[in-house]
Structure 1
Amino acid sequence: METVNYDVVVIGAGPGGYVCAIRAAQLGFKVALAEKYDVLGGTCTNVGCIPAKALLDSSEHYHKAAVQFGTHGIDLEGLHLNFQQFIQRKQEVVKQNTSGLVYLMKKNKIAVHHGLGSFVNTHQLKVGDQVLQGRYFVIATGSKPASLPGITIDKKRVISSTEALSLPAQPASMIIIGGGVIGVEMASVYARIGTRVTILEYAGSLIPTMDQELGKALQKSLATLSIDIRLNCQVQSAVNTGNAAVVGYLDKDGQQQELTADYCMVAVGRRAYTAGLNLAAAGIETMKSGKIPVNKTLQTSAPHIYAIGDVIEGPMLAHKAEEEGTLVAEVIGGLTPHLNYNLIPNVVYTWPEVASVGATEEQLKASGVAYRSSKFPYMASARARASMDTEGFVKVLVAAAYNEVLGVHIIGPRAADVIGQAAVGMAHETTAEEMYRICYAHPTYSEALKDAFLLGAGKSAINI
């Protein structure tokens, strides 16, 4: 069995892994990237972020053509959806991204080894018929869809988001268990193209980990797509009956209920994936959740082995993993990087989009922090009126003492892009007044942010 020596061996080619590998190579290290599957990119690129956004964009185009184009003076006859092309375009987007990653590995002289990585000892990883000897290792193996007790995802009628991205035909109906980010995004995709969608959520609001006002506003928005949203529901079973899925649950009153649909999609979160790594051989133990404990520089109990992304604590976000990958590469390179986890944005790609950065109002109340809350509605935005995207608002939370911006929460057009400006300001501990005194282009969606900061500083909004 051949042994190959490297400075840094990264295990997992998702966003965290490939970014870490590239940054380490840029710093002059000899780098290997081990990937279980034949393609690079991990969950995000192949069966997560990228294909989901491709379908979200396609479904939004179709929905606007069906319900808005007439108002714009664009008359269509015989509008219909070619579902096979709908899915095929998504596949083409994925292929473009994975091909780009192959190019980046070659450009940065990163050796790619395909196969399941398994530790032989603390300095050796077996991949196929080769052993990768490394000075440092980075575990970036990501996560897999989770399920509920007693529910088996058979990938036929009881499916995860992975299967929902590539269904053979458009379903007439779908039940989605879970009203978090993945659940509401996939609900949007299918409801827009005419599938009858029901969401069953255990909590009392959608996207329960985000600011509660965002969840309430999103629920109203999704209701306009005729999505049946049932909160405070405890799902007990999901069964494949051959040509349908039957879901049993307790409703908010504790009454036993049953629903039938073409498919049941389980979207109750994800779990860390470390199967086959043989972590014990490297002297690494996992927590009960399956995640790997790390210190502030993301070192595991073996100092030369690091872990990043979904396999460690924190939100399971591709951009979080990317930042951690960069941090680890720079720590190995002798630099002193810093990552502020409070300033990692969280985004939901429904339409209107939902985005947050910093503290929620619930967190501030629980911690006893004195603050002010201000909101500016997109209904008052000239740009939003011009594009017929007037749903939603920008909400700013400001410290009562010094006007420092503590949190920004947006539901509205292009919230995913607008939130970046708020994150930059908060990274420099700016006040609400400093943020509104920046010149914002007119007319833009970002002006709603400016006016929310203006109100947060105790002044009156002036833009329309």
Structure 2
Amino acid sequence: MKPATVDVLVVGGGPAGLFAALRAGDLGASTTLVTGGEFGGMAAHDGPVPVRTLAHAARLIRDARQLGRYGISVPEPVLDYPLLLARVREVVGEVRAHAALHEQIDAAGITVHERAGVARFMDPHTVVTHSGLRLRAEKIILCTGGTSRRLPIPGFELTATHSDAWSLTSVPPTMLVIGGGATGVQVASIFSAFGTRVELFQAASRILPTEDEDVSAAVAESFRGAGIGVHEGFGSIESFEKTPGGVRMAFSKDGARDSAEAALVVVAVGWTANTAALGLATAGVETDPRGFVRVDAHLRTSAPHIFAAGDVTGRLMLVPQALQDGFVAATNAVRGPTMVTEDTVSPIGSFTDPEYAQAGLTEAKARETREVVVTVVRFDSTTRTIIDGRTTGFCKLIVDRATRTILGCHVVGERAVDIVQTAAIAIAAGMRVDELARVPLSFPTYTGILGRAAATAARQLSLDVGRGRFAELL
């Protein structure tokens, strides 16, 4: 029997899929959402939510060790990892129940199929799932996300992914983390705080290669100071092999062979589209050379009735951008190609120790096409950081000399992610740096550091900031 045809079928229940389904429903389309796993997708169950919960535990341990400086005597903190994992599951459950658009989607009359298993195309308009569902729609939006990239290296099956790291039953005594991007540095930072001896290996010349160079250098220096071994430009991996104590990685550089061993090896070397089982060719959906679904500015695939949003497209693979993608894709699926994706300011940050974050252009990128003014405010010279004993780090502001507008902001240190959110608003609004300097930010705060950087840059440009000059004291 041929299934009933709905207006829109959304495949995938992560941030992009949830927002796409909600938008389609709000526009009056009969909408079905099908997800292979739990409602909320990777972000809720295997990404930012559990990661941030573990990072919060790492922060609490670090904060507890500072209590003595403020006259508070407590025993040395001891981590009970099974209890922490129980808290992670509790948080994930609460987020899933209360903060993952569940109520809104139910109110919009959207049909939801959870834990349906892998989906694949039977024909361009029909999808079947491993659980036996057969779903047909006029328009389909693919939001199946991504998965950790595997390497064609002997013994790779002996390694773990970041997902395995979060689900450990105990903290390993030693760990190798392969890959110095955002995921790798978070794994390294969190487990180092938990007491694991961590060695971080990055094939490129620096960790966090997409960040401003000063940010990469500062995070690497802080990691080394915390006892994390940071190996940049280490060469190429030849193999992994089992040992009595764990796993050994053999690698070489310029003909010289070396090895490293740990109880656990976590590989975090990139993200690929989760499309292998979808049967995209059946639907006429093309992928790009990297394997991600190819989309145009309207997020429409090579099949005009099929759209894609979120990580599966290989664009900015972040939750806020996935939400925006879902909104755009659903709008165009229902109304036709009326809305395009835009290169908006995309603040990026990580809850490592120290935190790091960015919005806008790096200094190197800005200098390619602009004459810029760069100002740096060190955390050891600002009031709030001194009060809190968090004086490691800096706030760097990059300003266009001709237009006086803010091109980029890069922060390393306590509350870096929060500081950059304010900078992103200023960049998106096209504020001149002297206008930002005039905003009377509260004292003493971390965001006030951004005001000080703006006031300093304005002075370098000989701009009058008037009453905003007090920001230089923050």
> Considering the TM-score relative to the shorter chain, is it more than 0.5?
yes
Query: Which residue of 2 is the match for residue 360 of structure 1?
Result: 362
- How far does residue 356 in structure 1 lie from its aligned partner after superposition? 0.8
Residue 343 of structure 2 is aligned to residue 345 of structure 1: no
Write out per-residue CA displacement over residues 31-50 of structure 1, whole angstroms, 9 at most, x where no aligned residue. Answer: 1111112x112211111111
Residue 73 of structure 2 is aligned to residue 75 of structure 1: yes
* Equivalent pair of 1:379/1:385 in contact (CA under 8 Å): yes
Instruction: Provide the rounded CA distance (Å) in 1 between the counterparts of 2:338 and 2:372.
Output: 33
Instruction: Provide the rounded CA distance (Å) in 2 between the counterparts of 1:245 and 1:393.
Output: 38
Query: Which residue of 2 is the match for residue 162 of structure 1?
Result: 163
- How far does residue 321 in structure 1 lie from its aligned partner after superposition? 0.9
Secondary structure of the structure 2 residue equivalent to 1:462: helix
Q: Which runs of 5+ in 1 are unaligned?
A: none
* Alignment CA distance shift 1:151-1:290 (3 Å): farther
- How far does residue 115 in structure 1 lie from its aligned partner after superposition? 2.9
Instruction: Provide the rounded CA distance (Å) in 1 between the counterparts of 2:380 and 2:287.
Output: 49
Query: Which residue of 2 is the match for residue 19 of structure 1?
Result: 19
What percentage of residue pairs aligned between the two structures are identical?
Answer: 30
Query: Which residue of 1 is the match for residue 440 of structure 2?
Result: 439
Matches within 5 A, 1:185-334: 185-234=186-235, 235-241=237-243, 243-250=245-252, 255-334=256-335
- How far does residue 189 in structure 1 lie from its aligned partner after superposition? 0.8
Instruction: Provide the rounded CA distance (Å) in 1 between the counterparts of 2:91 and 2:69.
Output: 31
Tell me the amino acid that sits aligned with residue 260 of structure 1: E
* Equivalent pair of 1:2/1:129 in contact (CA under 8 Å): no
* Alignment CA distance shift 1:248-1:336 (3 Å): same
Secondary structure of the structure 1 residue equivalent to 2:356: strand
Query: Which residue of 2 is the match for residue 47 of structure 1?
Result: 46
- How far does residue 238 in structure 1 lie from its aligned partner after superposition? 2.2
Specify which of 453, 458, 472 is matched with residue 462 of structure 1.
472
Query: Which residue of 2 is the match for residue 31 of structure 1?
Result: 31
Instruction: Provide the rounded CA distance (Å) in 2 between the counterparts of 1:152 and 1:438.
Output: 56
What's the TM-score once normalised by structure 2's chain length? Answer: 0.92
- How far does residue 118 in structure 1 lie from its aligned partner after superposition? 1.4
Instruction: Provide the rounded CA distance (Å) in 1 between the counterparts of 2:332 and 2:201.
Output: 43
Tell me the amino acid that sits aligned with residue 70 of structure 1: G
Query: Which residue of 1 is the match for residue 133 of structure 2?
Result: 130
Write out per-residue CA displacement over residues 124-151 of structure 1, whole angstroms, 9 at most, x where no aligned residue. Answer: 2223433222121111111111133315
Write out per-residue CA displacement over residues 251-279 of structure 1, whole angstroms, 9 at most, x where no aligned residue. Answer: 5x653111111000001111111022111
* Equivalent pair of 2:156/2:239 in contact (CA under 8 Å): no
Instruction: Provide the rounded CA distance (Å) in 2 between the counterparts of 1:291 and 1:339.
Output: 17
Query: Which residue of 1 is the match for residue 466 of structure 2?
Result: none
* Alignment CA distance shift 1:79-1:353 (3 Å): closer
Tell me the amino acid that sits aligned with residue 138 of structure 2: R
- How far does residue 250 in structure 1 lie from its aligned partner after superposition? 2.4
Secondary structure of the structure 1 residue equivalent to 2:311: helix
* Equivalent pair of 1:164/1:265 in contact (CA under 8 Å): yes
- How far does residue 453 in structure 1 lie from its aligned partner after superposition? 1.4
* Equivalent pair of 2:27/2:334 in contact (CA under 8 Å): yes
Q: Return 443-452 or 412-421, whichever deviates more.
A: 412-421
Write out per-residue CA displacement over residues 341-379 of structure 1, whole angstroms, 9 at most, x where no aligned residue. Answer: 3511111211321111111112123x3322111111122
Query: Which residue of 1 is the match for residue 465 of structure 2?
Result: none
Instruction: Provide the rounded CA distance (Å) in 2 between the counterparts of 1:129 and 1:267.
Output: 34
Specify which of 67, 88, 91 is matched with residue 90 of structure 1.
88
- How far does residue 96 in structure 1 lie from its aligned partner after superposition? 1.5
Write out per-residue CA displacement over residues 286-330 of structure 1, whole angstroms, 9 at most, x where no aligned residue. Answer: 122111111111111112211111111323212211111112222
Secondary structure of the structure 1 residue equivalent to 2:269: coil
Residue 147 of structure 2 is aligned to residue 141 of structure 1: no
Tell me the amino acid that sits aligned with residue 264 of structure 2: Y
- How far does residue 248 in structure 1 lie from its aligned partner after superposition? 1.2
What's the TM-score once normalised by structure 1's chain length? Answer: 0.94
- How far does residue 402 in structure 1 lie from its aligned partner after superposition? 1.0
Write out per-residue CA displacement over residues 142-201 of structure 1, whole angstroms, 9 at most, x where no aligned residue. Answer: 1111133315553xx510000000112111000000111111111111111211000011
Secondary structure of the structure 2 residue equivalent to 1:457: helix
Write out per-residue CA displacement over residues 419-462 of structure 1, whole angstroms, 9 at most, x where no aligned residue. Answer: 12211121122211111112211111001111111222235762
* Equivalent pair of 2:453/2:472 in contact (CA under 8 Å): no
Instruction: Provide the rounded CA distance (Å) in 2 between the counterparts of 1:261 and 1:53.
Output: 25
Q: Return 309-318 or 189-198, whichever deviates more.
A: 309-318
- How far does residue 339 in structure 1 lie from its aligned partner after superposition? 4.1
Q: Which runs of 5+ in 2 are unaligned?
A: 461-468
* Equivalent pair of 2:299/2:341 in contact (CA under 8 Å): no
* Equivalent pair of 1:3/1:130 in contact (CA under 8 Å): no
Q: Return 232-241 or 333-342, whichever deviates more.
A: 333-342
* Equivalent pair of 2:172/2:196 in contact (CA under 8 Å): yes
Matches within 5 A, 1:384-463: 384-459=385-460, 462-463=472-473
* Alignment CA distance shift 1:399-1:18 (3 Å): same
Instruction: Provide the rounded CA distance (Å) in 2 between the counterparts of 1:46 and 1:21.
Output: 19
Instruction: Provide the rounded CA distance (Å) in 2 between the counterparts of 1:268 and 1:116.
Output: 24
